[in-house]
């Protein structure tokens, strides 16, 4: 998925308009971009930069690739002793535990060893034995995390972008920005208010040639597709979305789009929805009531759960997604 700035109807068109500012930063191995409607450019730029700085801070604290990150610290030491966390990460991990339970283990941040075994996190390691879920515990009194299995590694790859977007959006709101669109790594997007010229909301296309678009207004969208990142495993091309229970990659042809009140929830559930679909689970048992899901599979009619109106046939664009 991509908010394609080159698209004639896409964000590039917005830049030419007066009172619209675009900012971007590189974080979490990808590019975060922010479009905001503004009257006072220096103030809007300052607010936008602070929002992007919040995303950079998330990257510095949650990346498995940065040795000084809090997550790297936990992965290094939490199997030997409890590691004290800041309130933000502690609460995020609490929510991750809830998500894991609600999704029947389809979402699991303790998926680190599996990701590494399949070659998605640098040097390959041997695959872990058995399930990877439920292998860390949180202690609220000491605000610490401790691994209950020595091979546990946390990997926030399926939630960090959404979480960072929510924090960045909160910074914008605190600074008085009420019309903005932020996307991260072209797979998660959050909308504040509406664009200056579209009262109904920010229209975002799902997939480069996708048949659907979402109209966002103070809501978020996340799209997960195994094709987004692939690796070669034993001569086969596999996608980066795995069932944490079995380690099995979900089929490459799948794509899930989730519209939710927060980018964090959309990010986490778009991954979980794919895994649950691949397991053949009835998705209505798991979908939170305030979310809308779209599952696309090659050669199969698209399936919708929740508000069908969240996804409309693709038309003219504000921003397009690949």
- Considering beta carbons, is residue 6 or 68 the nearer one to other proteins? 68
**Token pair of 113, please?**
């060893």
> Considering the rule CB under 8 A, would residue 70 count as an interface residue with other proteins?
yes
Closest approach of other proteins to the CB of residue 239, in Å: 24
Within 8 A by CB and 6+ apart from 126, the residues are 117
> Considering the rule CB under 8 A, would residue 130 count as an interface residue with other proteins?
no
Separation CA 187–CA 182 (nearest Å): 11
Residue 287: other Cβ atoms inside 10 A: 21
**Token pair of 11, please?**
């964000």
- Considering beta carbons, is residue 41 or 290 the nearer one to other proteins? 41
Please check whether residue 14 is in contact with residue 35, taking contact to mean a CB–CB distance below 8 angstroms: yes
Residue from 31, 45, 217, 245 in contact with other proteins (CB under 8 A): 45
Residue 138: other Cβ atoms inside 10 A: 17
> Considering the rule CB under 8 A, would residue 123 count as an interface residue with other proteins?
yes
Residue from 8, 18, 67, 285 in contact with other proteins (CB under 8 A): 67
Q: How many CA atoms lie within 13 A of 257 on its CB side?
A: 30
Residue from 37, 44, 110, 238 in contact with other proteins (CB under 8 A): 44
Binding mask 73-102 for other proteins (x = CB under 8 A): x--x-------xxxxx--------------
The helix (H) or strand (E) run that includes residue 41 is: helix 41-62
Grouping H, G, I as helix, E, B as strand and the rest as coil, residue 39 is: coil
Q: Are strands 188-192 and 180-184 parallel, antiparallel or unpaired?
A: antiparallel
Separation CA 290–CA 293 (nearest Å): 10
Closest approach of other proteins to the CB of residue 68, in Å: 5
> Considering the rule CB under 8 A, would residue 40 count as an interface residue with other proteins?
yes
Residue from 3, 10, 55, 61 in contact with other proteins (CB under 8 A): 61
Residue from 15, 17, 29, 60 in contact with other proteins (CB under 8 A): 60
- Considering beta carbons, is residue 138 or 252 the nearer one to other proteins? 138
> Considering the rule CB under 8 A, would residue 68 count as an interface residue with other proteins?
yes
Return the residues of window 150-179 that contact other proteins according to CB under 8 A. 174-176
Separation CA 9–CA 12 (nearest Å): 7
| 162 CA to centre of own chain | 4
Residue 145: other Cβ atoms inside 10 A: 25
> Considering the rule CB under 8 A, would residue 141 count as an interface residue with other proteins?
no
Residue from 15, 66, 94, 308 in contact with other proteins (CB under 8 A): 66
Closest approach of other proteins to the CB of residue 79, in Å: 12
Binding site for other proteins (CB under 8 A): 40-47, 49-50, 53, 57, 60-61, 65-68, 70, 72-73, 76, 84-88, 122-123, 143, 174-176
């Amino acid at each position: 998925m991509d908010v394609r700035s080159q698209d004639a109807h896409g964000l590039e068109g917005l830049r030419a308009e007066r009172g619209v500012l675009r900012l971007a930063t590189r974080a979490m191995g990808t590019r975060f971009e922010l479009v905001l409607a503004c009257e006072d450019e220096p103030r809007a730029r300052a607010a936008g930069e602070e929002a992007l700085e919040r995303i950079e801070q998330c990257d510095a604290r949650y990346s498995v690739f940065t040795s000084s990150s809090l997550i790297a610290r936990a992965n290094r030491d939490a199997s030997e002793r409890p590691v004290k966390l800041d309130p933000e990460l502690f609460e995020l991990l609490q929510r991750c535990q809830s998500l894991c339970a609600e999704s029947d283990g389809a979402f699991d941040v303790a998926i680190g060893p599996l990701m590494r075994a399949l070659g998605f996190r640098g040097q390959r390691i041997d695959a872990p034995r058995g399930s990877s879920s439920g292998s860390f515990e949180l202690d609220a009194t000491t605000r610490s995390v401790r691994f209950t299995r020595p091979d546990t590694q946390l990997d926030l790859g399926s939630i960090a972008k959404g979480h960072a977007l929510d924090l960045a959006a909160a910074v914008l709101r605190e600074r008085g920005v009420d019309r903005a669109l932020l996307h991260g790594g072209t797979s998660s997007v959050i909308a504040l208010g509406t664009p200056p010229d579209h009262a109904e909301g920010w229209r975002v296309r799902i997939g480069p040639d996708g048949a659907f678009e979402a109209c966002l207004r103070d809501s978020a969208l996340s799209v997960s597709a195994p094709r987004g990142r692939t690796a070669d495993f034993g001569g086969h091309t596999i996608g980066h979305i795995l069932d944490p229970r079995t380690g099995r990659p979900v089929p490459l042809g799948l794509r899930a789009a989730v519209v939710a009140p927060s980018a964090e929830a959309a990010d986490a559930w778009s991954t979980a929805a794919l895994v649950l679909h691949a397991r053949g689970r009835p998705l209505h048992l798991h979908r939170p009531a305030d979310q809308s899901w779209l599952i696309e599979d090659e050669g199969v009619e698209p399936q919708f759960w929740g508000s069908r109106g969240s996804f409309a046939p693709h038309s003219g664009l504000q921003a397009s997604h690949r």
